[in-house]
Chain A
Amino acid sequence: MSEATLPIPIGDVLRLAQPRPRWFVPGLLAGIGSAVMAVALLACSAWLITVAAEMPSLAVLGMAVVGVRAFAIFRSVFRYLERLSSHDAAFRQLAELRLGVFRRIVPIAPAGLASTGRGDLLTRLVRDVDDLQDLPLRVVQPLIVAGTTALLSVVAIWLIVPAAGLTLLVCLLLAGILGTFFSGTLAARADRELSPLRGALADEVLEIVENLDVLTAFDALGPRLEQLARTDARLRKATLRRSVGIGVQSAVVSLFAGAATLGALYFGVPALDSGGGVLSPVLLGPTVIVAVLVPMAVFEVFGMIPLAGSAWRQVRVSATRVAGVVPATVPGEIPVDVVDPQTLFTPDLTRGPVVLELTNLGACWPGQHEPGVAGVTLRLAPGDRVHLAGPSGAGKTTLAQTLVRFLDYTGSYRLNGVETRLLAQREVRRVVGLCEQRPWLFDDSIRQNLLFARDTATDAELDAVLARVGLAEWSRARGGLDARVGERGLLVSGGQAQRIALARALLADFPVLIVDEPTANVDSVGADALVRDILTAAADAHRAVLLISHTPVPDELLTARVTLPARAGTHT
């Protein structure tokens, strides 16, 4: 990322993930209710038993008996409501969260996202966005619930035996701070040490699995497996060393829970004689018992806090990654529409022939110091079919991305004599179309994958265009337009995906069509046929076609050839 682009603050991302109070509060109240009931159940049970031991009349116990049963039932009911309500709130917020992130990436996609990497990182981004749901569910809610319950309990006990209340407060604070501190620092240190080892192991495993044929055929598998075993042993040893720190946090919480009980006893026993807090100036046995036992129940609820700590660390990692991908400002290399509509020039390019002219055009990817392409001069007129070749790294794909205005340019890029910088990006993309190197197919039917290019097209038109790109038979064999293409087009081959993408472009009827490396994911036998079919299908008197490909193209299909010279820096 270049210096000019700042990532958005993590706080902005986190705010997007936190549901609005109207959705969040009901679940929160139910959660607090459930936790308070859990503490009250133990307190009331203990009181019931110790009072009963003094053999009072049954009527005295009546309230306690009802209370115990009610607390038991409502604790579970509230808990169920809490989980339902808080999940519902998190899912409601998910739409806002996704929209918020999407709104920010629309202007920079795809070139501004490309600098962060390939498809798998995109998956990562989407998963990170979804993982942010843990913020309300596993961080904010438990913290507030446990904190409120602990505070209420401290106050209640303080009213009975002030010293016991203070002991509980100190124990809770120490357990919270030390527990979170230990789990935080130890986990962070373990992660620092272990993640490079995990990464190395994953790389080695992948290399072996992917190249098992090569390793087997060259009798090199044995040594590789031995090497993997050594890496594995290193990771295991480091994990074993780290494991000592893992249990410290639960141990600390348990220790302070015991300390709180002991403290309550230590201060409660003398208080029986000397008198207690505001609530009961004259202390009775049963009241002291409640003060002694409540800390146990409080600490059970309190156990959520260290868990919330580790959830928070993960949420923060996700938020940081999302913030890193989504810049606060559009990088300088990505075009932004001129805001002032007065200077925005809008001739209707869709009518009549379109001539595309490049003069000394250059373009740069965000975060790259060297231009991805430079010094291109080219003219495309209706009916032209130009083959653009050049070694990898020459900037062929950069040029394609620039022509559809995903990247900004230096020099001149004119459509019918108008500098495209002065045009809205959408206007340019209405005339200049692109079949991408890896066409994206949506996990839907073939029909839906074609219709978004022209949603007024009839089935007959769709069938006709499929026939034009050589997919008539194929689509019939699969059950016609309703056949699904699978997630990311998993059910279609690389060549078929290219043909569908071409069909889409033909439906949109772009006056200028750029086809970027259609044979990149096609076997060599299919490549020649594909290139030939693409040029034949796209050929039209009113359309200019720019085919970027390293597959040789026969002369009779072309009107011109252009070769980009090799460049020092490589970015494809």
Chain B
Amino acid sequence: MTSPFTKAVRPLDPRLLRYAHAARRFLLVGALLGLAQTLVVIAFAWLLTRAITLTVAGEPLRTIMPTLAALAGVVVLRSALIWLLEVAANRGAAQVKSQLRAKVMAKLAERGPDWVASRQSARLSTVVTTGLDALDNYFARYLPQLLLTMIATPILIAVILSQDLISGLIVIVVIPLIPIFMILIGRVTQSVQQEQWQALQRLSTGFLGVVGGLGTLKIYGRERRQFDRIRSITEEYRTRTMTVLRVSFLSGFVLELAASLSVALIAVSIGLRLIDGALLLGVGLFVLLLAPEAFLPVRQVGAQFHAASDGLAAAEELFAILDDETTPAISRADGAAQAVQFGSGALLLDGVSVRRGETLVIDHVHAEFPPGQLSVLRGVSGVGKSTLVAALLGFVPFTGTLTLDGVTVPAGATRGWLAWAGQRPGLFRGTVAENVALGAASADHTGLDQRLVLKSLGWAGAAEVSPATVLGVNGEGLSGGQAQRVAAARAIYRAISTDCHVLILDEPSSALDSAAEAGLLVGLRRLADQGRIVIVVSHRPAVVAAADNVIELQELAHV
């Protein structure tokens, strides 16, 4: 079942129109179809009234036949319009989802990995895929009704008014009461929810806790005691949820009551005036048939609000991403960033500081990484080694200067000078060869240098891994150590193929046994011997022993 809890959201977020052009087109098409539907509703009510009055007047079937034929035509037309509106809504949803997805992905690319890491990546992926699917209901069920409320309701009220002033006034008085009551009840619901929120959150995951921890519970012989626990958790969940539902179902009650009471009022008032002869049966019946139609869209908007609010909440999360301007864009090679050529001198860090929010993570680091040397960067856990690497990669803004061969590396420069392998292997589906040649090989394998792939794997100490091995998601199919070395091979491939001057490996041997580690170190030495700057972040004794140059990163005393 859907969550019984409504969120306070705007009915139509203007940002939806701004970020997704398809939404505008849908609104236009939907408005036209809504207008046509309204006219059909009026025609149906008018023809039906005419057929009935003719019947009551005692006319034979033959006289009524033309009206029935017209009515049949309207029925077919009405059904066709309903179909068209749903088709338009579904098409609109599909197009809007595509557009929003593309916008968000472009935004992620622009903000960079550090920004993404500050939000949970799984959460982000869900928002972009299944989260967006919640917009289906918003488009298919909610927006058409919202459009009809804005188009059909005024037209129908005008028609009713023109036929019978009193009935029209009843509708005009009652319709605004519906949103007012909805809002009032919504407020009460929210305050009740807030009281229950934490308890409900805990209780709703209680069963998951018991099922997920069943192995642990069995180890401690506690599995039998959980029956009572499940019962009590679920029972408390029920009583608390019902407390909330008692209030939130009131909004549905008000909708129904307003609509049916005003129909009743109109029927009674028409009936009484018919007795006086102040009104004709045709007019009375016509108005009686139209009155519920005037309420229908408003009622539907209220009834579909749940479905819609899920979609809006998903959209809200997207807009928050799209509107986020807190961090500057990072540079990307396929962007308009400038390419800088560097010579073969040392890499120099001069007073480099990195802040994350209010916290100073790296404070005025000075370091020199000479060419042709294997340098090791070390420091206790949490000292900011990976942050420093992220700063070099341009993922994190820093102050101070970074010079390569005496030339300042500008903040917006591309990373052409740098090859890197992170702590996490970060491998993709595809063959090992495609992974190693990432960035160089296009999708059709042109530019994939098989010999260089073999060489890179060899230098990373992963000669036993076949380039043809096909990997699953997240490099599935390799052991942790193999994945780590393939990631190192990928950096080596880039360093050699694009002639990067600097190679940075972040904890490349944390999952390796000593033999594999030794193999990797041999490869790294060769790269250094070619005149490259090789930087390894590591605390492993073997790596430190092999280094020409050890740079100790000091811990900052945080207050």
> Which residues of A does B touch, CB under 8 Å?
38, 41-42, 44-46, 48-53, 55-56, 58, 61, 64-65, 68-69, 71-73, 75-77, 79-80, 83-84, 87-88, 90-92, 94-95, 98-99, 102-103, 105-106, 109-110, 113, 119, 122-123, 125-126, 129-131, 133-134, 137-138, 198, 201-203, 205-223, 225, 227-229, 232-233, 235-236, 239-240, 242-244, 246-248, 250-252, 254-255, 258-259, 261-262, 265-266, 268-270, 272, 285, 288-289, 292, 391-392, 404, 406, 426, 429-430, 433-434, 436, 439-443, 452-453, 487-488, 504, 508, 523-526, 550
Given contacts A227-B443, A255-B76, A269-B61, whether A213 and B395 have CB atoms under 8 Å apart is yes
Measured CA separation A64–B102 after assembly (Å): 60
Top 9 nearest A-B pairs (CB, nearest first) are: A258-B75, A247-B86, A110-B215, A524-B510, A218-B439, A213-B113, A45-B267, A91-B238, A53-B281
Q: Is the CB of A209 within 8 A of B124?
A: yes
A-B residue pair count with CB separations less than 8 angstroms? 392
Q: Is the CB of B55 within 8 A of A285?
A: yes
Give the residue among A38, A105, A265 with the most B Cβ atoms within 10 A.
Answer: A265
Which of B202-210, B523-531, B550-558 lies at the interface?
Answer: B202-210
Q: Is the CB of A122 within 8 A of B429?
A: no
Measured CA separation A109–B219 after assembly (Å): 11
Complex contacts, B210 vs chain A, CB 8 Å: 102
> Which residues of B does A touch, CB under 8 Å?
1, 4, 44, 48, 51-52, 55-56, 58-61, 64, 68, 71-72, 74-76, 78-80, 82-87, 90-91, 94-95, 97-98, 101-102, 105-106, 108-109, 112-113, 116-117, 121-122, 124-125, 128-130, 140, 202, 205-224, 226-227, 230-231, 234-235, 237-238, 241-242, 245-246, 249-250, 252-253, 256-257, 260-261, 263-264, 267-268, 270-272, 274-275, 277, 280-281, 284-285, 288, 292, 330, 332-334, 380-381, 393, 395, 414-416, 418, 420, 422-423, 426, 428-429, 438-439, 442-443, 473-474, 479-480, 490, 494, 507, 510-511, 539-540
Measured CA separation A537–B64 after assembly (Å): 96
Measured CA separation A442–B75 after assembly (Å): 59
- List 18 A–B pairs whose Cβ atoms lie within 8 Å, in order of A's numbering: A53-B284, A61-B275, A77-B253, A79-B253, A80-B249, A109-B215, A123-B212, A211-B428, A229-B102, A246-B140, A266-B68, A269-B64, A288-B56, A436-B215, A436-B216, A440-B213, A487-B205, A524-B539
Question: Mostly helix, strand, loop or mixed at chain B's interface?
Answer: helix
Complex contacts, A406 vs chain B, CB 8 Å: 215, 218
Which A residue's beta carbon lies closest to that of B267? A45
Measured CA separation A497–B537 after assembly (Å): 26
Complex contacts, B101 vs chain A, CB 8 Å: 205, 232
Within 8 Å by CB of B275, from A52, A105, A210, lies A52
Measured CA separation A77–B231 after assembly (Å): 31
Complex contacts, A222 vs chain B, CB 8 Å: 332-334
Measured CA separation A187–B234 after assembly (Å): 34
Complex contacts, B87 vs chain A, CB 8 Å: 243-244, 246-247
Complex contacts, A209 vs chain B, CB 8 Å: 108, 116, 121, 124-125, 128
Within 8 Å by CB of B209, from A65, A220, A442, lies A442
Complex contacts, A223 vs chain B, CB 8 Å: 442-443
Q: Is the CB of A524 within 8 A of B83?
A: no
Measured CA separation A254–B64 after assembly (Å): 23
Which A residue's beta carbon lies closest to that of B240? A91
Given contacts A102-B211, A248-B83, whether A58 and B270 have CB atoms under 8 Å apart is no
Within 8 Å by CB of B257, from A61, A73, A244, lies A73
Measured CA separation A18–B205 after assembly (Å): 22
Complex contacts, B256 vs chain A, CB 8 Å: 75-76, 79-80
Measured CA separation A187–B11 after assembly (Å): 28
Q: Is the CB of A208 within 8 A of B250?
A: no
Measured CA separation A406–B438 after assembly (Å): 43
Given contacts A79-B256, A285-B55, A525-B380, whether A102 and B227 have CB atoms under 8 Å apart is yes
Within 8 Å by CB of B109, from A64, A80, A225, A526, lies A225
Query: Closest approach, in angstroms, between the C-beta of B331 and any C-beta of chain A?
Result: 9
Measured CA separation A201–B105 after assembly (Å): 12
Given contacts A219-B415, A258-B75, A443-B205, whether A211 and B268 have CB atoms under 8 Å apart is no
Q: Is the CB of B98 within 8 A of A217?
A: no
Which B residue's beta carbon lies closest to that of A226? B443
Given contacts A94-B234, A138-B1, A269-B55, whether A122 and B264 have CB atoms under 8 Å apart is no
Which A residue's beta carbon lies closest to that of B241? A91
Q: Is the CB of A265 within 8 A of B51?
A: yes
